[in-house]
Amino acid sequence: MKERAAVNLRKHAPLLLLSATSAGLAYLIAAFAFGEEGAFFAPIAAVICTGLTVGQRRRRAAEIALGVLLGGAAADVLVRVAGAGAWQLAVAVLVAVTIAVAIRPSGLLVNQAAVAAVVVIAVGPILDVSPWIRLADAVIGGCVALLLTAIYPGNPVNGVLDSARNYVTRHAAIVNEAAAAIDHQSLSRADQAIEQLGELKEATSALDDSVSATRERLAGVGLLQRRGQRESTRHVLARAESLVMSADATSATCRGMCRAASNAVRHPRAIDDVELSSALFRLARVICLIPDWVAGALPASELRADALKAAVKASVRDEKAGPRHTRTVLIMQIRSAVVDLLQLTGLPRPEAVSQLEAAAGETDELIL
């Protein structure tokens, strides 16, 4: 527990300091411009825009400013018409969030509109701040956060690599679980592998967000990097984008593989099904190499060679076993997964299929 806490603190320390610095600097600028009473939304906007999670910070800054405008306007109108009170606060929040949802059903925009309405009615009479100052206040906070996020030191691709490792770890864990299900003839483990597919979808979404955030940050820090570092960063980002683009095909193949493994366990007939688990274990080890390829530490040729070995392992002829549908489907899914890996590294699909058949044999020639 303590070790995990220490790891989390080390991982998020730069953003923790950045969030605190953004809040303090935003307050300082807003207080200088509008006075201390007007420097209310600036630090809030700065903290939210900085955030601990990846995402598109420019969009979040715009949503915060718009939310402050909507909530503040709704509350101002209601206070002038009906005064301040509990029911006025409830109506102001309802009006603000309704307009926000109509514009864009974003959680951040809706929440910020609601918060702004609450603040204006609950604290507004005390502060007596113009709605335009509140809007400028939020814009200052967002701009400070964007500026500091763009220039703070650190490798901008670290977040992408962490997300890629998380995605690959989930993917490999599912394949390993399917292999273990066949190895132990365990239907419960086969079902568990299928259930874990939802986690792969979540990891894919996190990777996509991380790539978007890194692309956004590179637009701000690209000129601050040395040319060699800039090129290396772009290559890493391009490979991570390829991983995101291949996610749909990967998920579909992985789902088919898990179902095929489940059927093989459900209808066992021979030891040859159990031996297919070694091919799946090998495939999982190859999948674990993907982050090294994304980081540029592993050449694409080596990743392809290792992937083809998994296909060869799965496609070994076994004349004694005889043809059987469940075995055939599982082998085809393993071969499809290898094709997905080859395409991930940049090979066109026809070339990927050609290399697969050259190494592991054509499908029609196999005795499955």
pLDDT of residue 187: 87
Residues 64-85, mean pLDDT to the nearest whole number: 82
Question: Which pLDDT band, with edges at 50, 70 and 90, does 264 fall under?
Answer: confident
* In the predicted structure, residue 54 carries a pLDDT above the cut 60: no
Pick from 171, 360, 177: nearest CA to 281: 177
pLDDT above 70 as % of the chain: 83
- Average pLDDT for residues 123-144, to the nearest whole number? 76
**What does the alpha-carbon distance between residue 125 and residue 113 come to, in Å, rounded to a whole number?**
18
> Are residues 142 and 164 both part of a single domain?
no
- Helix H or strand E encompassing 253: helix 247-266
Q: Is 189 in the same domain as 141?
A: no
Q: Is the pLDDT of residue 58 over 50?
A: yes
Residue 35 shares a structural domain with residue 179: no
| Same domain membership, residue 302 and residue 221 | yes
Q: Is a pLDDT exceeding 60 seen at residue 320? A: no
**361 has a pLDDT exceeding 90:** no
Q: Rounded to an integer, what distance in angstroms lies between the CA atom of residue 366 and that of residue 368?
A: 6
| pLDDT at site 223 | 47
Confidence of residue 283 (pLDDT cuts 50, 70, 90): very high
Whether the pLDDT of residue 24 is over 80: the answer is yes
Same domain assignment for residues 124 and 213: no
Name the nearest CA neighbour of 145 among 222, 220, 230: 220
Residue at a domain's end among 151, 179, 197: 151
pLDDT at 243: 92
DSSP letters for 149-188: HHHSSS-TTHHHHHHHHHHHHHHHHHHHHHHHHHHHT-HH
Q: Would you say residue 313 has pLDDT above 80?
A: yes
Do 165 and 141 share a domain, yes or no?
A: no
Average pLDDT, the chain: 82
Does 361 lie in the same domain as 340? yes
Structure confidence by residue, pLDDT tens digits, 208-263: 888 887 777 676 555 455 555 667 788 888 999 999 999 889 999 999 999 998 88
Domain range for 80 = 2-151
- Return the residue matching tokens 């303090």: 24
C-beta pairs of 125-132 under 8 Å, 24+ apart in sequence: 125/79, 125/84, 127/37, 127/38, 127/40, 128/37, 129/34, 129/37, 129/38, 129/40, 131/69, 131/72, 131/73, 131/76
Tell me which of 284 and 42 has the higher pLDDT: 284
Percent residues over pLDDT 90 in the chain:
29
* Domain end position, chosen among 151, 175, 199: 151
Q: Could you tell me if 47 and 22 are in contact, meaning their C-beta atoms sit under 8 angstroms apart?
A: yes
**In total, how many domains does the chain have?**
2
The pLDDT value recorded for residue 153 is 52
Which residue has better confidence, 27 or 318? 27
Please identify, among 119, 151, 183, the residue that sits at the C-terminal boundary of a domain. Answer: 151
95 shares its domain with 184:
no
Residue 34 in tokens: 């509008």
Identify whether the C-beta of residue 344 lies closer than 8 Å to the C-beta of residue 294: no
Q: Does residue 164 register a pLDDT over 50? A: yes
Predicted TM-score (pTM) of this structure:
0.69
For residue 314, what is the DSSP state? H
Average pLDDT over every residue of 184-195: 89
Residues 45 and 144 in one domain: yes
- Is residue 74 predicted with pLDDT exceeding 80? yes
Verify that 202 and 109 share a domain, yes or no: no
Weakest-pLDDT range from 250-259, 262-271, 288-297: 262-271
- What are the distances in angstroms from CA 226 to CA 7, 221, 232? 29, 10, 10
Verify that 167 and 146 share a domain, yes or no.
no
Cβ contacts of 288 within 8 Å, gap of 6 or more: 168, 169, 172
For residue 109, pLDDT beyond 90: no
pLDDT recorded at residue 166:
92
Residue 96 has pLDDT above 60, yes or no: yes
pLDDT given for residue 125 in this prediction:
65
Q: Which of 2-11, 189-198, 350-359 has the lowest mean pLDDT?
A: 2-11
Looking at the fold, whether 135 and 180 belong to one and the same domain comes out as: no
CATH code, domain with 336: 1.20.58
Looking at mean pLDDT, say which of 36-50, 200-214, 338-352 comes out highest. 338-352
